[in-house]
Amino acid sequence: MGLAGAGAAWMRRPALAASQAPGDRSGLWRLTLGQASDLVRRGDVSPVELTEACLRRIEASEPVLNAFITLAREEALRTARQLEAEQARADWRGPLHGIPVALKDNIDTAGLLTTGGSALFRNRVPSEDAHVVARLKLAGAIVIGKLNLHEFALGGTSAVNHVGPVHNPWALDHHPGGSSGGNAAAIAAELCFGSLGTDTGGSIRIPASYCGIVGLKPTHGRVSNRGVIPNSWTFDTVGPMCRTVEDAALMLTVIAGYDASDPSSADVPVEDYRRAIGAPASGLRLGVPRSPFFDDLEPEVRQAVGEALEVLRDLVAEVREVDLPPSPGLGISSAEIYAYHAPWISESPELYQPPTRRIVQGGADFSAKEYADGLRAVTLARREIAESFQAVDLVVMPTTGGAAGPIPSPPTDGPAGDTPAGRGGRGGRGGRGRGGGGGPSGFRNTSYCSYYGLPAISVPCGFTASGLPIGLQIAGAPFTESTVLALAHAYERATPWHERRPSLAI
Annotated catalytic residue within 46, 158, 203, 450: 203
Cis peptide before 280 (omega within 30 of 0): no
Parallel/antiparallel/unpaired status of strands 194-199 and 100-104: parallel
The length of the chain is 506
- Which helix (DSSP H) or strand (DSSP E) does residue 338 occupy? helix 333-347
CB 252 within 8 A of CB 358: no
CB-based contacts of 8: which residues, under 8 Å, 6+ apart? Answer: 170, 463, 467, 500
- d(CA 242, CA 183) in angstroms, rounded, equals 9
User: 310 exposed, middle or buried (CB, 10 Å; 0-12, 13-18, 19+)?
Assistant: exposed
**Torsions phi, psi of 395, nearest 5?**
-125, 155
**Torsions phi, psi of 441, nearest 5?**
-95, 10
Annotated catalytic residue within 37, 46, 104, 458: 104
Parallel/antiparallel/unpaired status of strands 10-12 and 500-502: antiparallel
Annotated catalytic residue within 61, 158, 179, 482: 179
- Catalytic site residue 137? no
* Amino acid letter for position 502: P
CB 18 within 8 A of CB 477: no
Cα angle 252-374-386, degrees, rounded to a multiple of 5: 50
Torsion sign, CA atoms 491, 493, 498, 500: negative
- Catalytic site residue 179? yes
- d(CA 243, CA 108) in angstroms, rounded, equals 23
- Catalytic site residue 447? no
For every residue of 193-259, DSSP letters joined together read: SEEEEEESSSTTHHHHHHHT-EEEEPPTTSB--TTB--S-TTT-EEEEEESSHHHHHHHHHHHBS--
Cα angle 497-501-506, degrees, rounded to a multiple of 5: 175
**E strand intervals along 162-205:** 194-199
What is the set of active-site residues?
104, 179, 203
